[in-house]
Amino acid sequence: MQVGNIFIGSDYPIRIQTMANTDTNDIDASVDQARRCIEAGTELLRFTTQGIREVESLREIHAQVLTAVPLVADVHFNAEVADAAAQVVEAVRINPGNYSKDPSKLEARFVHLLDICREHETAIRIGVNHGSLSERMMDKYGDTPEGMVESVMEFLRIAVDHEFFDIVISVKASNTRVMVETVRLLVKTMHKEHMAFPLHLGVTEAGEGEDGRIKSAVGIGALLADGIGDTVRVSLSEAPENEIPVAQKLVDYFADEDSIRYDGSVVAEVLDNIGGNAEIRYTSYENEWDTFCLQAAAECGRLLWDYKATELTLVNPNFTESRLNFLSKDILQAARVRIYKTEYISCPGCGRTMFDLQKTVAEVKAATAHLTGLKIAVMGCIVNGPGEMADADYGYVGAGRDRISLYRGKECVLKNIPQEEAVKQLLKLINQQNN
Ligand code: SF4
């Protein structure tokens, strides 16, 4: 498929992308950030597009970065906004979970968008996230890989019937196991129905820092090792330009013929010999820590899941045993094989974000670092946050400017409290529950 000046899928290189976290209506900030992302190497750039005002802002941003990279409008709730954005930028992302609430109107609504896209040579990304399925899909399948796959397939069947093929698909989850299982199921389902649309890979709400990178590498790496994936985003709760080198390293690693790849016989032998403890020795030892973390995590997701390993021993003489042990634990936790510490699920932020995400994640982490075994979400907005924080035990969600809502599981227990009280209240909530 073609998106602006690039091709995605087939034998084309795996494309790196990211998403701006500026207010789309702040043109100067958005263009500045776009330039930084382009300089860092992004090949596509997505912007939050809540309404027609944002479409008009995108027109201006597009005019300023026109020849550099294709822009993607990220539309969630309003089909008219998708129609308008499709006339302005190179691609539009829609979320089947909230694209059209009325199933009897879904086909006509989507075909209208296809017609506009055909006329303007605009591509479509169908993006389903764990936690944001339509009520109809939830009733039928629950929040499951099957439900996510069917949400996509329903749209793909319509597109194929109408001979529209410029589509890329994403099915993402914060839980790496769910993400990998869903993408694999989608590939099988498409294959059965003689479809081969390109796939965009990513782990949503992966968090930040080393944990966010390891979690992303575990999920994305498992699929790249399968030979699945045409474009990649590493979603971090950091500046979007920080995502690019991480994604690039993952893509380069799997493009390198000398990278380590485990085949079934080698792994089975390892597991037979040591009883469920996968020991990883690399033939040539990477000596740069950040790169080693990414490569080990990228290799291990597949190894842990497909061969049911429950322990992991990393061997690399360039690093101390204790550092390697911590990394092994972080990888096991990122793959949800074992839980050692509190897991932070935080969104990457976008134009909807209601607070300084990086600062807030750091505050929440500092206040809760002593806890173990919990999943705590920090989500930038109330629109998508509660759904997409998936299986978090507690959620800190932006409800409005300087206003936060706190969640226990899916239940909102404190609504619209001032942000300066929110971390203290979150801790109180956790302590009440656990005492
Ligand atoms: S949860 Fe809200 S603020 Fe965070 S990335 Fe998603 S839409 Fe943006």
**Residue (of 25, 148, 168) closest to 94 by Cα position:** 168
Please report the sign of the dihedral spanned by the C-alpha atoms of residue 125, residue 128, residue 133, residue 137. positive
Q: Is the pLDDT of residue 197 over 50?
A: yes
CB of 166 within 6 A of ligand 1: the answer is: no
The ligand 1 atom nearest the CA atom of 397: 1
Q: How many helices (H) and strands (E) does the chain have?
A: 16, 17
Instruction: Concatenate the DSSP letters of all residues of 77-110 into one string.
Output: S-HHHHHHHTTTSSEEEE-HHHH-S-HHHHHHHH
Distance 270 CA to ligand 1 centre (A): 42
Note whether 351 and 411 are within 8 A (CB). Answer: no
Residue 76, pLDDT score: 87
Q: In testing the pocket of ligand 1, which one of 347, 382, 389 has its CB within 8 Å of the most ligand atoms?
A: 347
Q: For position 36, what pLDDT does the model report?
A: 96
Q: Are 307 and 340 in contact, with CB atoms under 8 Å apart?
A: no
Q: Is the Cβ atom of 379 under 6 angstroms away from ligand 1?
A: yes
- Eight-state DSSP code of residue 341: S
- For the Cβ of 352 lying below 6 angstroms from any atom of ligand 1, the answer is yes
The closest-lying atom of ligand 1 relative to the alpha carbon of residue 347 is: 4
Residues 147 and 286 in one domain: no
Q: Which tokens in the block code for residue 201?
A: 């890979």
pTM over 0.85: yes
The alpha-carbon radius of gyration of the chain (Å, integer) is 21
Pairwise CA distance, residues 373 & 215, whole Å: 16
The count of structural domains within the chain is 3
Q: What does the pLDDT look like over 72-123, one tens digit per residue?
A: 999 988 999 999 999 999 999 999 988 877 778 899 999 999 999 999 999 9
Pair 271, 163 in one domain: no
Q: What is the pLDDT of residues 26-82, one digit of tens each?
A: 999 999 999 999 999 999 999 999 999 999 999 999 999 866 799 999 998 899 999
* Whether residue 98 has its Cβ less than 6 Å from ligand 1: no
Å from CA of 192 to ligand 1 middle:
34
Quick check: CB of 346 below 6 Å from ligand 1?
no
The answer on 396 and 268 residing in a single domain is: no
- CA angle, residues 184, 197, 203, in degrees to nearest 5: 45
Domain's final residue, options 216, 248, 280: 248
User: Which of 361, 388, 404 to mutate to test ligand 1, by most ligand atoms within 8 A of the CB atom?
Assistant: 388
Q: Which atom of ligand 1 is nearest to the CA of 353?
A: 3
- Enter the DSSP assignment of 206: B
Note the pLDDT of residue 276: 52
Q: What is the pLDDT of residues 251-263, one digit of tens each?
A: 999 987 565 554 4
Pocket test for ligand 1, best of 18, 350, 357 (most atoms within 8 A of CB): 350
For residues 198-219, one letter each, b for 16 or more C-beta atoms within 10 angstroms of the residue's C-beta and e for the rest, the string is bbbbbbbbbbbebbbbbbbbbb
Segment 12-21 shows an average pLDDT of 97
Note whether 299 and 370 are same-domain residues.
no
Q: Which distant-in-sequence residues (6+ apart) come within 8 Å of 335 by Cβ?
A: 176, 177, 218, 300, 301, 304, 305
Please give the structure tokens belonging to residue 157.
């069947």
For residue range 383-434, list pLDDT tens digits in order.
889 988 878 999 999 999 889 999 999 899 999 999 999 999 999 999 987 6
Is residue 259 included in any domain, yes or no?
no
Task: Say if residue 268's pLDDT is above 60.
Answer: no
Torsion sign (Cα): 364, 366, 368, 374: positive
Q: Using CA positions, which residue lies closest to atom 7 of ligand 1?
A: 384
Ligand 1 mutation target, pool 47, 48, 352, 389, most atoms within 8 A of CB: 352
Q: Does residue 254 belong to any structural domain of this protein?
A: no
How high is the mean pLDDT of the chain? 90
Which pLDDT belongs to residue 282? Answer: 86
Domain that holds residue 347: 343-434
- The last residue of one of the domains, among 208, 223, 248, is 248
Residues 26 and 160 in one domain: yes
Is ligand 1 within 6 A of the CB of residue 202?
no
Task: For residues 67 and 156, state if they share a domain.
Answer: yes
Residue 274 — very low, low, confident or very high, per pLDDT cuts 50/70/90? very low
Pocket flag, ligand 1, residue 100 (CB < 6 Å): no
Strand partners, 168: 125
Burial 363-386 (b: 16+ CB within 10 A, else e): bbbeebeebeebbbbbbbbbbbbb
Tell whether 257 is covered by a domain.
Answer: no
pLDDT in tens, 358-378: 999 999 999 998 888 899 999
For residues 321 and 374, membership in a common domain is answered with no
Q: Whose CA is nearest to atom 1 of ligand 1?
A: 385
- The CATH number of the domain where 427 resides is what? 3.30.413.10
DSSP reduced 3-state for 126:
strand
**Pocket test residue of 238, 381, 403, 407 for ligand 1, highest count of atoms within 8 A of CB:** 381
- Which residues are within 8 A (CB) of 135 and not within 5 positions of it... i.e. 6 or more apart? 101
Are 19 and 115 in a shared domain? yes
Query: What percent of the chain is modeled with pLDDT above 70?
Result: 93
Q: What is the DSSP letter of 312?
A: E
Same domain for 430 and 282, yes or no, is no
Task: Report the C-alpha gap between 176 and 202 in whole angstroms.
Answer: 9
Question: CB of 236 closer than 6 A to ligand 1?
Answer: no
Q: Same domain for 416 and 379?
A: yes
Domain boundary (219, 248, 277) is at 248
By CB atoms closer than 10 A (0-12, 13-18, 19+), residue 333 is: buried
Are 277 and 347 contained in the same domain? Answer: no
* pLDDT at residue 280 in the model: 57
Mean pLDDT of 191-219: 96
What CATH number is attached to the domain comprising 87? 3.20.20.20
| Whether pLDDT at 331 is above 80 | yes
Map residue 173 onto helix, strand or coil: strand
